[in-house]
Amino acid sequence: MKTHHPPLSILLALLASTLTGSVVTRADEPAAITLPESDEGLPGVGPIRRYDWFRNLWKERRGAWAARTAADKRALVFLGDSITQGFGDDFQGAFPGAKLANRGISGDTTRGMLLRLADDVLALDPAGVVMLMGTNDLEEGATPEAIAANIKAIIAAIEAKNPRTPIVVCQMFPSATEKKRPAEAIKQVNSLVAAAVKNDPRVRLVDTWTLFAGPHGDAKAEEFPDLLHPNDAGYAKWIAAIRPVLETLDLVPVAADDFQPEAGFEMLFNGRDLTGWGYREQKSQARHLDLDGRQSSPDGRYVAKHGRIVVTTPPEGRRVEQLWTTREFPGNFELRLQFRATPTADSGVFIRAPQLQCRDYLLAGPYKELQHYRPQDWNDLVVTVTNGTAHCTCNGEVLEAALAVPASGPIGLEGDSGQLEYRRLRINKLP
């Protein structure tokens, strides 16, 4: 299928006003749910599918959605293709209590999603949007540049409609060359999209490619039986990957944590704000900015929410920053906490001065051989400092048997890339 590609500079300059203005037909008019006969005058670049089965599915699903626009107002909207459609309207019961709307159409391309964005998504005034798209474009021969341009245009239109709408962009899942979706093309799309959203504070990028990719970059049959669509195990991993981000953005409910410290332990974090924590000068370790009473650091990198200290994903993609206790801890002690990491996220726990790498270990290392690590779930970290050395374990497995530490100093958390959460931070002084 050959399509006319208008200059990208003109497209990207006009897309937001086109999608939120009068050019796009209202969803309650019959023409709006019927696939246009040609690409002429349509926003975006690249292929739009027009197979008979796709025309029928497009009209059927969009017609049903148009009838429930009012009921779906302020929902968290998932926008995508067959992978999203296959999630189901109940999203496998993954987010109980959340108001959700599935706007996936099997076979759809990014240009098709751009075309239907105003009526299927923006008309809902969504609480947030989760995006996963692009795989069908590759099968139809679209270039990575065209796919990335459409995704960028979709994001621009969402932000033009409401600049406060949070957007979660999932990287394109791996597939296979025999599916006309080679790993290198998918990686190129993901790289272009990452560059496009860099420095945009409204976008959270989740590394769902590395999460699923096999040794050679293709989908694994145990999670993608047809090397394209996830099975229940694949969906479970996707749910786990995005849940921390959705909870931090208050897009899905968060279960209460009624944890109480063990006898002898005192809490280092009150669960409400950053009292007892702050910034220090990197070299001298002198206290620079105390955050007592604040729920967030000035730049929003560290947030106290839902009983957790959240190290948020930096808009730049990667930025090193450190948060420290205002107190120092001499002598022997046992530090206990739980952490949860999004895919490939990178952080660290400072024990006075040395850093214990705290990451999504199996994907980001350095402890890739752990048997009990729980990806994208809560993990127990225990650090026992005795006579100048720290014995560190994760879920009972040794990370460091004898990490040398100074005689005294604060406890710290580092942010690098991805989202990390810490909770139940407590300490017990030892003889």
Is 156 in a helix, a strand, or coil?
Answer: helix
**Residues 6 or more apart whose Cβ sits within 8 Å of residue 24:** 18, 32, 118, 119
Q: Which amino acid is at 224?
A: F
Distance CA 151, CA 426 (A): 43
Q: Strand pairing of 302-305 and 308-311?
A: antiparallel
Full pLDDT tens readout for the chain, 431 residues: 333 333 333 333 334 434 433 334 333 334 578 899 999 999 999 999 999 999 999 999 999 999 999 999 999 999 999 999 999 999 999 999 999 999 999 999 999 999 999 999 999 999 999 999 999 999 999 999 999 999 999 999 999 999 999 999 999 999 999 999 999 999 999 999 999 999 999 999 999 999 999 999 999 999 999 999 999 999 999 999 999 999 999 999 999 999 999 999 999 999 999 999 999 998 888 999 999 999 999 999 999 999 999 999 999 999 999 999 999 999 999 999 999 999 999 999 999 999 999 999 999 999 999 999 999 999 999 999 999 999 999 999 999 999 999 999 999 999 999 999 999 999 999 99
Cis peptide before 315 (omega within 30 of 0): no
The reported pLDDT for the residue numbered 31 is 53
The reported pLDDT for the residue numbered 216 is 95
From the CA atom positions of the chain, what is the Rg in Å?
A: 24
**Residues 6 or more apart whose Cβ sits within 8 Å of residue 35:** 48, 50, 54, 55, 58, 59
Distance CA 201, CA 167 (A): 9
How buried is residue 260: exposed, middle or buried, by Cβ count under 10 Å (0-12/13-18/19+)? exposed
Which residue in 116, 108, 115 sits closest to 62, CA to CA? 116
Question: Concatenated DSSP letters for 308-375?
Answer: EEEEPPPTTS---EEEEESS---SEEEEEEEEEE-TT-EEEEEESSSEEEEE-HHHH-S-TT-SS--T
Half-sphere exposure of 176 (CA within 13 A, CB side): 12
**Residues 6 or more apart whose Cβ sits within 8 Å of residue 173:** 83, 132, 135, 186, 208, 209, 212, 219, 224, 230
Q: Which amino acid is at 286?
A: A
> Which domains are present in the chain?
8-248 (3.40.50.1110), 266-430 (2.60.120.560)
pTM above 0.85, yes or no: yes
The answer to whether residues 174 and 214 touch, using CB atoms and an 8 Å cutoff, is yes
